[in-house]
Chains A and B, each alone.
Chain A
Amino acid sequence: MSDVILRLQNLETHYGKIHALRGINLIVNEGQIVTILGSNGAGKSTALKTISGLVQASAGTVEFMGQDITKELPHNIVETGLIHVPEGRRIFRDLTVQENLDLGAYTLNDDVERRKRMHHVFDMFPILKERRKQDGGTLSGGEQQMLAIGRAMMVEPKLLLLDEPSMGLAPIIVQEIMKIIRTLNKEGTTILLVEQNAKMALKLADYGYVLETGELVMEGYGTELKEDESIVKAYLGA
């Protein structure tokens, strides 16, 4: 259970002169849900982008399943089983639901396997099956998030990076997304979840980190963090 799947060591990222990540050390164990909390601009999304290779690290290392992937290109990282669902979902609005899912399996050349995975996605999200011929842009926010996660599932990821899946969704939809994340995790996908919605994230997470202006200021088991007063004050609005 406690095999390390992802390890960040002194990871630093710059956007020009802006020092967005200032040396981050983080560990995700296989089978866990780990969350990174933090307010706007703390560097949460940057951390995910650096891990998935969309942004290049300026120092430090990213290690995924024992391999150093710091300098790898994003499409190579995808093939190792690390998938990033970017903030704002980034689905293809002008393509149908099915075409969107097909992209997820782009690296896959096996039609039978692709169909099998699509069935699996449709089992998990019946609403997507119903709308498979519709353009992505016509879906509601929650459905678009499901599509974004479904698209990532088509790759059968070992580690899924989720960037604010609850963004802009009604509380009842957030509940549903939470359920999906939990199911995915039970099926064996390790999840690194970035959230502003700390309440939701801590309900799910085994372990959590708190990021502030590019530095990790706190970490602990999900239940611990939930009880920590400063977290409660800063992020749970109590």
Chain B
Amino acid sequence: MSAENPKVMEKEIQKPLSPGRFTDMLYELLGNKRIRYSVYAALVITALVIPSFADNYVLEVFTNAYFYIILCLGLNIVVGYAGLLDLGYAAFFAVGAYTTGILTSQFGFNFWLTIPFSILFSVIAGVIIGGPTLRLRSDYLAIVTLGFGEITRIAARNLEITGGASGLIGIDRPMLFGMRLYQIHHFYFLFFVLVILAIFISHRLYNSRLGRAWEYIREDEDAAEAMGIDRVRYKLYAYVMGAVFGGVAGSFFAVKMTAISPQTFLFTQSAMILLAVVLGGMGKIQGVIVGALLLVFFPEIFRGIGDMRMLVFGIVLLIIMVFRPQGIWPTRRS
């Protein structure tokens, strides 16, 4: 359209570099396959060389960011792909962390062997909560998941096997190829590999038949159902898939921290993960990653201003939501 009217084009070019304009440019740039893959390769290489010059504090922050990327990609399957509002995502992360914590510290399991159990229990938790509730529409589902998140946390605080309010301590560090992983750069690389894996799985899911079914359900549940899609079943798949991401991330979290307590799995945790997904752009892998990075880096960068940083963070969020309601990097240009 603008090609017919050179004046309009000129005007557009002169527009200030707002976040929207910026991502539009990014889209154009990344539309070119060669540029896109070069950028991705550059990012991967950067991530790989960071540990060779960064100090432990920076590595800790990055590792934390990677951890949140995995959680956010997991929640993105539920919220972004299938369009289900989940306010209790920390519960799955708790299930994974406690599974690994309990199995290693009380039953002497090897860490790597706890992961299948983590997955199993996440799936069970996902089915228990999802089975009966996924027939509900969004608002009700949000309330139920909120309750589920709290139930999980409170159960962990009151059970003996989970160590009560003080939680579990002294979880064994994992071994990998005969080497004990204990330094921060070990975990940096471990979580980096997990991020790559999470991106790969997310990407494959999005382009699969399953991914398309989720898209239809998200857009119009009734129409999808009238065309032969079993909405409850596909929603459950999304829910369970998200649960598995959370559970596996929780397992690795447990061995990195060596201590977990119910305090780690507060509602604010679920809310922050959801926030990162919505902020970054629901359903878009790149967007979700940007959201997760922002969530972790922002408070760190503004550590200098002390308590004010949460206030500033809140204001920034509001500004983004007002000017960019679909998120920083949404699935489609509107």
Q: Which residues of A contact B (CB under 8 A)?
A: 52, 54, 73-75, 78-79, 83-86, 90-95, 102-104, 106-107, 151-152, 155
On whether the beta carbons of B332 and A103 are closer than 8 Å, the reply is no
On whether the beta carbons of A73 and B226 are closer than 8 Å, the reply is no
- B window 77-94: CB within 8 A of A: none
A-B contact pairs, 15 of them (CB 8 A): A52-B226, A74-B226, A75-B228, A75-B229, A83-B227, A84-B226, A90-B220, A90-B222, A102-B212, A103-B216, A103-B224, A106-B212, A106-B213, A106-B216, A155-B227
Write out the residue numbers on chain B whose beta carbons fall within 8 Å of the beta carbon of A74. 225-226, 228
Q: What distance in Å separates the Cβ of A49 from its nearest Cβ neighbour in chain B?
A: 9
Q: What distance in Å separates the Cβ of B279 from its nearest Cβ neighbour in chain A?
A: 20
Write out the residue numbers on chain B whose beta carbons fall within 8 Å of the beta carbon of A78. 226-228
Q: Which of B222, B227, B230, B231 contacts A103 (CB 8 A)?
A: B227
| Known A78-B228, A103-B227, A106-B229: A95·B219 in contact at CB below 8 Å | yes
- A78-B227, A83-B226, A85-B226 given; name 8 further pairs at CB < 8 Å: A74-B225, A74-B226, A90-B220, A92-B219, A93-B219, A94-B219, A104-B227, A155-B227
Closest to A151 in B: B227
Write out the residue numbers on chain A whose beta carbons fall within 8 Å of the beta carbon of B222. 54, 86, 90
Q: How large is the interface on B (under 10, 10 to 19, 20 to 34, 35 or more residues)?
A: 10 to 19
On whether the beta carbons of B220 and A79 are closer than 8 Å, the reply is no
On whether the beta carbons of A92 and B225 are closer than 8 Å, the reply is no
Q: What distance in Å separates the Cβ of A219 from its nearest Cβ neighbour in chain B?
A: 27
On whether the beta carbons of B228 and A92 are closer than 8 Å, the reply is no
On whether the beta carbons of B228 and A54 are closer than 8 Å, the reply is no
On whether the beta carbons of B212 and A90 are closer than 8 Å, the reply is no
B60 located at the interface, meaning its Cβ lies under 8 Å from any Cβ of chain A in the complex: no
- Cα–Cα, bound, A16→B215 (Å): 31
- Cα–Cα, bound, A54→B228 (Å): 11
Q: Which of A75, A90, A94, A107 contacts B223 (CB 8 A)?
A: A90
On whether the beta carbons of A86 and B228 are closer than 8 Å, the reply is no
Which of the listed residues A75, A78, A83, A91 has the most CB atoms from chain B within 10 Å of its own CB? A75
On whether the beta carbons of A95 and B215 are closer than 8 Å, the reply is yes
- B window 192-250: CB within 8 A of A: 209, 212-213, 215-216, 219-220, 222-231
On whether the beta carbons of A106 and B227 are closer than 8 Å, the reply is yes
Q: Which of A54, A84, A94 contacts B332 (CB 8 A)?
A: A94
Closest to B223 in A: A90
| Known A78-B228, A79-B228, A95-B215: A86·B223 in contact at CB below 8 Å | yes
- Cα–Cα, bound, A59→B212 (Å): 36
Closest to B213 in A: A106
- Cα–Cα, bound, A102→B209 (Å): 11
Q: Which of B209, B224, B230 contacts A73 (CB 8 A)?
A: B230
Q: What distance in Å separates the Cβ of A83 from its nearest Cβ neighbour in chain B?
A: 8
Write out the residue numbers on chain B whose beta carbons fall within 8 Å of the beta carbon of A84. 226
On whether the beta carbons of A75 and B230 are closer than 8 Å, the reply is yes
On whether the beta carbons of B230 and A155 are closer than 8 Å, the reply is no
Write out the residue numbers on chain A whose beta carbons fall within 8 Å of the beta carbon of B216. 92, 103, 106
Write out the residue numbers on chain A whose beta carbons fall within 8 Å of the beta carbon of B212. 102-103, 106
Q: What distance in Å separates the Cβ of B42 from its nearest Cβ neighbour in chain A?
A: 32
- B window 233-283: CB within 8 A of A: none
Write out the residue numbers on chain A whose beta carbons fall within 8 Å of the beta carbon of B220. 90, 92
Write out the residue numbers on chain B whose beta carbons fall within 8 Å of the beta carbon of A104. 227
On whether the beta carbons of B228 and A107 are closer than 8 Å, the reply is yes
- Cα–Cα, bound, A5→B311 (Å): 66
Q: What distance in Å separates the Cβ of B28 from its nearest Cβ neighbour in chain A?
A: 18
Q: What distance in Å separates the Cβ of A153 from its nearest Cβ neighbour in chain B?
A: 11
- Cα–Cα, bound, A95→B227 (Å): 15
Closest to B334 in A: A94
- Cα–Cα, bound, A75→B230 (Å): 6
- Cα–Cα, bound, A93→B223 (Å): 12
Write out the residue numbers on chain A whose beta carbons fall within 8 Å of the beta carbon of B226. 52, 54, 74, 78, 83-86, 90
On whether the beta carbons of A91 and B223 are closer than 8 Å, the reply is yes
Write out the residue numbers on chain B whose beta carbons fall within 8 Å of the beta carbon of A86. 222-223, 226
- Cα–Cα, bound, A94→B223 (Å): 14
Q: What distance in Å separates the Cβ of A82 from its nearest Cβ neighbour in chain B?
A: 10
- Cα–Cα, bound, A204→B305 (Å): 74
- Cα–Cα, bound, A18→B212 (Å): 37
- Cα–Cα, bound, A187→B142 (Å): 47
On whether the beta carbons of A92 and B227 are closer than 8 Å, the reply is no
- Cα–Cα, bound, A155→B228 (Å): 9
